[in-house]
Amino acid sequence: MILYVPLRMLHVNSNGSQLRHGRGVTYSKRGQTMSEQQIQKVKVKRLAHVGLWSNDVAAQARFYRQVLGFDLRNTFDNSTDQDIDLENANVFLSLGEEHHCLGLFSDIRPSTGNGRNPFRRTRLHHLAFELDTDAELAALAARLSQSGVELALAERDGDPDLGDTLWFSDPDGNRIEISVTPEDSLASSSVSVGGRRTRLRPQALQHIALQTPQLEQMVDFYTEALGFDISDWLLRESAWLRCNNDHHTVTLIQGKMDVDHVGYSIFNGPELLTWADHLSRYQTSVLWGPGRHGAGHDLFLRIADTEGIHIELSAELQQYYDRDVTTPPRLWHTRPMALNLWGSIPSWMREEVRV
C-alpha cells in the first residue's frame, strides 16, 4: 500500500515516554512520563482527514474543487481555474485547513480476481485522527503496543518539521494514522474579512462511515483502543461513535468492507436547499434527502462523487458537551427511524445491508 513516506517499525516504552523506531532515533515527550491510568484515558480528539483510492484522480479532484469548493493543497499551483495534469498523482484537498481534509491516491493496486468475479476492494486508503499533545501520542502508542497492535512511525506528510505520525491497522485492515494537531492549524477560510462567506462549500470534514463484515470487533477496537464512545446503536447493524462533542465521527455499518460515505458539515439546515440548487447546476443528482437522521438528529442530503463515493452534507448534528460524563448509548430497534425520521429510505440502501 502506498503511504506518504516509508514507515519505520516502533518499539514503545510501557509508560509512553518514548517512541523508538528502527533507525535508533528517539521521539520523546521532553522527559514526561504518564501513569498507567493516564495512558488508559488517552482518546483521539478529531478526524483530521480521509484518504481515498481513485481510478481517475484528475476527474475526482476536479469534482471536489469545482462542485464542492475544495482547495488544492499540494505542490501544484492552484491560482487559476485551469485544469492541472494530475495523472497518477496523489492529491490533497482542503476546506481552508493549512494541510488537507481529503487525500486522493491514484489506485495502482494490482488487479485481483478471475475477471468474471473480481474481488471487491475497499476504496479507503487510510483514515487520519489527531490528538492534542506529543504526550498523548506516545501514551496511545504505549497502549496500542500493550494490546499487541503492530505500530509504525512516519514523518507527517513527509515533512520532518510537522512531527511524527503513528500508523497501524484496525481489525478490518484499514490503515489508521494518528498525529498531533499542528499548533498553527488554520480555521476554515470560507468566510471573508467582513464575515461574509465568499463561496458555497462545506464547513469541515465531519465523519466517516465504514461498512464492515465484523461490526462488534470494530466497535470494540475503536472504543477500547482509540477511546471512542458509543452514541447510538442500531442493533446488529450500525453503531455511531464519537470522539469529541459531535454525536459521531465514525459510523460502523454491518456489510462488505468499504467506504459507505464521507460526511461534511454545512452552515445550517436551510442551506441544504441552497446546496440542492447548486448541485443541480452541476448536474449532480441528490441521491437521498433532504431528511433528518434519527441517530444524530442532523439534517442531511446525500450525493456521489465521480468515483461513486457517497458524500453526506450535514447540519444541526447533535452535540455532547462533556466527554467526561458517561452517557449510555441510545438503542434503535427499527431501521427507518434511526436512518430517517422523515420516512424515506432509498431502495439501494435497503438492499445494501441485511440484519
**Residue 105, pLDDT score:** 93
How far is residue 337's CA from residue 334's CA, in Å, rounded to a whole number? Answer: 6
**Residue 140, pLDDT score:** 94
CATH code of 19's domain: 3.10.180
Is residue 289 located within the same domain as residue 309? yes
Q: Does a structural domain hold residue 190?
A: no
Is residue 100 located within the same domain as residue 64? yes
End-to-end CA distance of the chain: 32
CATH code of 277's domain: 3.10.180.10
Query: Strand runs (DSSP E) across 65-201, as ranges?
Result: 71-72, 90-94, 102-106, 124-131, 152-155, 164-169, 175-180
Is residue 73 located within the same domain as residue 41? no
What the block records as the C-alpha cell of 201 is 462549500
Is residue 304 located within the same domain as residue 342? yes
Q: Does a structural domain hold residue 113?
A: no
Does residue 290 have a cis peptide bond before it, meaning omega lies within 30 degrees of 0? yes
Q: Does a structural domain hold residue 199?
A: no
Is residue 132 located within the same domain as residue 272? no
Condensed to tens digits (0 to 9), the pLDDT of residues 157-216 reads 555 555 689 999 999 999 999 999 876 554 444 443 344 456 899 999 999 999 999 999
Is residue 34 located within the same domain as residue 157? yes
Is residue 84 located within the same domain as residue 173? no
Query: What is the C-alpha radius of gyration for the chain, rounded to an integer number of angstroms?
Result: 20
What the block records as the C-alpha cell of 263 is 460526511
**Residue 73, pLDDT score:** 85
**What one-character DSSP code corresponds to residue 318?**
-
> What's the whole-model pTM score?
0.85
Is residue 302 located within the same domain as residue 212? yes
**Residue 252, pLDDT score:** 99
The answer for residues whose C-beta is within 8 angstroms of residue 186's C-beta and 6 or more apart is 96, 97, 98
Is residue 259 located within the same domain as residue 315? yes
The 8 Å CB, 24+ separation contacts for 110-117 are none
How far is residue 14's CA from residue 326's CA, in Å, rounded to a whole number? Answer: 27
pLDDT beneath 50: ranges in the chain: 1-8, 17, 21-31, 75-84, 117-118, 186-196, 354-355
Q: Does a structural domain hold residue 93?
A: yes
Tell me which residue range forms the domain holding 80: 56-106
Is residue 99 located within the same domain as residue 156? no
How far is residue 117's CA from residue 15's CA, in Å, rounded to a whole number? Answer: 49
Is residue 167 located within the same domain as residue 284? no
Please give the order of strands across the beta sheet that includes 102-106. Answer: 26-28, 18-21, 8-12, 152-155, 164-169, 175-180, 124-131, 46-54, 102-106, 90-94, 71-72
Work out whether strand 258-265 and strand 204-212 pair parallel, antiparallel, or are unpaired: antiparallel
Q: Does a structural domain hold residue 1?
A: no
How far is residue 20's CA from residue 24's CA, in Å, rounded to a whole number? Answer: 6
Q: Does a structural domain hold residue 196?
A: no
Beta bridge partners of 52: 104, 124
Is residue 165 located within the same domain as residue 307? no
**Would the CA dihedral through 116, 54, 252, 352 be positive or negative?**
negative
Split into its structural domains, the chain has a count of 3
Q: Does a structural domain hold residue 346?
A: yes
Q: Does a structural domain hold residue 112?
A: no
